[in-house]
C-alpha cells in the first residue's frame, strides 16, 4: 500500500475527504484541522492500495491540490491492519501490476537529470569497460554494466513519450547524449594514458578477443537482446516488487560498446569503432522502443481492467 500525506486548503478539505471516501482501496483516513503551516491548511492522511493510487492521485491533482497544497506518497513496507487487508481485497487488480504514473515520472525525472554524479558514474563505467574489452575480460564488462547509470535516461525518455512530456524527453535525451559524449572523450584520454604507461596496446585491441568481440560485431541478436532488456528494465521499474531503477545487467552492450568505440578511436581502429557505435545505437534504440511499448501496453491493459471492474 501507499501512504498519502496531503496538505489541503480549508475550503477543499471536505472535497478531498469525499474523494478518499469514494475510492475503493482507501482506508485509515485521518484529518488534522489547521495542522499545516507552510503552506497553511489542514493535513489529511490516508493509506491506499497501489491499484487505486493512480486514480486517486489523478483526482486530487484535478482539484489543483498539487498547486494549492501538497501531495506526498510513500510506500508502506509493513501495514498490519484488517482495514488495509480489506481495502486491498476490494480493489480490483494486483498491486504488482499497477503503475502509479506520478511516482514513475518522479523516479525517472530524478534518474534522468544531467548531473556531475551521473556523468562520473557513466565515465567510470566506460573506463572499467575499456579495461574489459582490451583484456577480453567478461567480468569487467559485467561490472561496467552494473555501474553504468544510463538506464535512467532511457527509462525517462520512454516515460516522456508515453506521457507526452516534451520537457522530460528533452532532459532525458540531453543526459544520455552529453553523458556518453563526456564518457567517450575521457575514455579516449584514458586509453592514451594506459598505452603510454604500457598497460594497453594496439595488439590487444586487434586480437580476436573471443569473450568480448561481440561488442563491435552487431547483428540481429543485438537488437533482440536490447528489446528484451528494455522490457525487463521497464517492468522492474514499474512493478511494486522491484525497488530502484536497475541497469538490466544482462547482455546489453551500451557502456561496453561505448568503451570499445573510445579505445578503437584512440588507436585509429575505425572498423571496430564504427561497429561498436552501431552496436551502441542498436541497443539504445531497442531499449527505448521496448520500454515505450511496454509502458503503452501497461497503460492500455490497466485502463481496460479498471473499466471492466
- Per-residue pLDDT at 243: 44
- Per-residue pLDDT at 306: 66
Task: Give the end of a domain, one of 57, 91, 125.
Answer: 91
- Per-residue pLDDT at 235: 83
- Same domain? 206 vs 261: yes
Instruction: Taking residues 40-66, report their average pLDDT.
Output: 91
- Same domain? 166 vs 297: yes
Asked whether residue 87 is assigned to any structural domain, the reply reads yes
CA 35 to chain centre: 35
Asked whether residue 114 is assigned to any structural domain, the reply reads yes
- Same domain? 129 vs 215: yes
Task: Give the end of a domain, one of 91, 125, 145.
Answer: 91
Range among 83-87, 166-170, 192-196 with highest mean pLDDT value = 192-196
CATH number of 66's domain: 3.30.70
Asked whether residue 221 is assigned to any structural domain, the reply reads yes
Angle at 209 between CA 203 and CA 214, to 5 degrees: 125
pTM: 0.81
Q: What is the pLDDT of residues 265-289, one digit of tens each?
A: 999 999 999 999 999 999 999 999 9
- Same domain? 168 vs 230: yes
What does DSSP assign to residue 9? -
Instruction: Taking residues 101-120, report their average pLDDT.
Output: 85
Beta strands in 111-202 (DSSP E): none
How far apart, in whole angstroms, are the C-alpha atoms of residue 164 and residue 173? 14
Show Cβ contacts of residue 297 under 8 Å, excluding neighbours closer than 6 positions. none
- Same domain? 18 vs 122: no
Range among 3-12, 77-86, 140-149 with highest mean pLDDT value = 3-12
Is the pLDDT at 220 greater than 60? The verdict is yes
Show Cβ contacts of residue 299 under 8 Å, excluding neighbours closer than 6 positions. 99, 162
Q: What is the pLDDT of residues 202-212, one digit of tens each?
A: 999 999 899 88
Give how far Cα 93 sits from Cα of 49, 51, 177, 224, Å.
Answer: 10, 6, 38, 31
Is the pLDDT at 117 greater than 90? The verdict is yes
Q: How many residues does the chain have?
A: 309
- Same domain? 43 vs 87: yes
Of 69-78, 241-250, 253-262, the poorest mean pLDDT is in 241-250
- Same domain? 72 vs 217: no
How far apart, in whole angstroms, are the C-alpha atoms of residue 164 and residue 47? 29
Residue with cell 547509470: 149
In the chain, how many domains are there? 2
- Same domain? 73 vs 122: no
Within a 13 Å sphere around the CA of 257, how many CA atoms are in the beta-carbon half?
Answer: 24
The residue segments making up the domain with residue 15 are: 2-91
Beta strands in the chain (DSSP E): 2-8, 26-37, 40-48, 70-75
Give how far Cα 236 sits from Cα of 16, 36, 294, Å.
Answer: 32, 36, 11
- Same domain? 173 vs 260: yes
Instruction: Taking residues 68-79, report their average pLDDT.
Output: 89
- Per-residue pLDDT at 151: 86
- Per-residue pLDDT at 104: 82
Mean pLDDT of the chain: 87
- Per-residue pLDDT at 233: 83
Asked whether residue 97 is assigned to any structural domain, the reply reads no
- Same domain? 77 vs 159: no
- Same domain? 131 vs 211: yes
Task: Give the end of a domain, one of 91, 126, 158.
Answer: 91
- Per-residue pLDDT at 188: 96
Exposed e or buried b for every residue in 30-45, given b needs 16+ CB within 10 A? ebeeeebeeeebbbbe
- Same domain? 243 vs 285: yes
Amino acid at each position: 500500500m501507499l501512504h498519502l500525506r496531503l496538505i489541503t486548503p480549508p475550503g477543499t478539505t471536505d472535497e478531498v475527504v469525499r474523494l478518499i471516501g469514494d475510492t475503493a482501496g482507501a482506508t485509515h483516513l485521518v484529518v488534522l484541522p489547521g495542522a499545516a503551516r507552510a503552506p497553511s491548511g489542514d493535513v489529511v492522511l490516508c493509506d491506499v492500495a497501489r491499484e487505486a493510487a493512480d486514480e486517486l492521485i489523478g483526482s486530487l491533482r484535478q482539484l489543483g491540490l498539487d498547486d494549492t497544497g501538497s501531495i506526498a506518497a510513500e510506500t508502506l513496507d509493513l501495514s498490519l491492519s484488517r482495514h488495509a487487508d480489506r481495502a486491498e481485497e476490494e480493489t480490483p487488480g494486483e498491486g504488482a501490476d499497477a503503475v502509479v504514473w506520478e511516482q514513475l515520472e518522479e523516479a525517472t525525472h530524478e534518474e534522468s537529470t544531467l548531473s556531475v554524479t551521473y556523468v562520473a558514474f557513466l565515465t567510470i563505467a566506460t573506463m572499467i569497460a575499456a579495461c574489459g574489452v582490451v583484456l577480453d575480460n567478461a567480468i569487467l564488462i559485467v561490472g561496467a554494466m552494473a555501474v553504468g547509470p544510463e538506464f535512467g535516461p532511457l527509462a525517462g525518455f520512454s516515460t516522456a513519450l508515453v506521457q507526452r512530456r516534451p520537457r522530460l524527453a528533452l532532459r532525458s535525451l540531453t543526459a544520455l547524449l552529453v553523458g556518453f559524449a563526456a564518457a567517450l572523450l575521457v575514455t579516449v584520454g584514458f586509453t592514451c594514458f594506459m598505452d603510454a604507461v604500457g598497460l594497453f596496446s594496439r595488439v590487444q585491441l586487434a586480437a580476436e578477443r573471443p569473450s568480448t568481440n561481440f561488442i563491435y560485431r552487431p547483428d540481429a541478436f543485438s537488437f533482440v537482446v536490447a528489446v528484451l532488456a528494455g522490457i525487463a528494465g521497464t517492468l522492474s521499474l514499474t512493478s511494486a516488487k522491484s525497488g530502484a531503477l536497475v541497469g538490466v545487467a544482462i547482455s546489453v552492450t551500451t557502456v561496453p560498446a561505448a568503451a570499445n568505440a573510445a579505445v578503437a578511436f584512440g588507436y585509429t581502429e575505425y572498423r571496430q569503432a564504427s561497429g561498436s557505435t552501431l552496436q551502441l545505437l542498436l541497443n539504445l534504440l531497442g531499449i527505448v522502443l521496448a520500454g515505450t511499448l511496454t509502458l503503452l501496453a501497461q497503460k492500455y491493459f490497466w485502463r481496460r481492467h479498471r473499466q471492466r471492474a
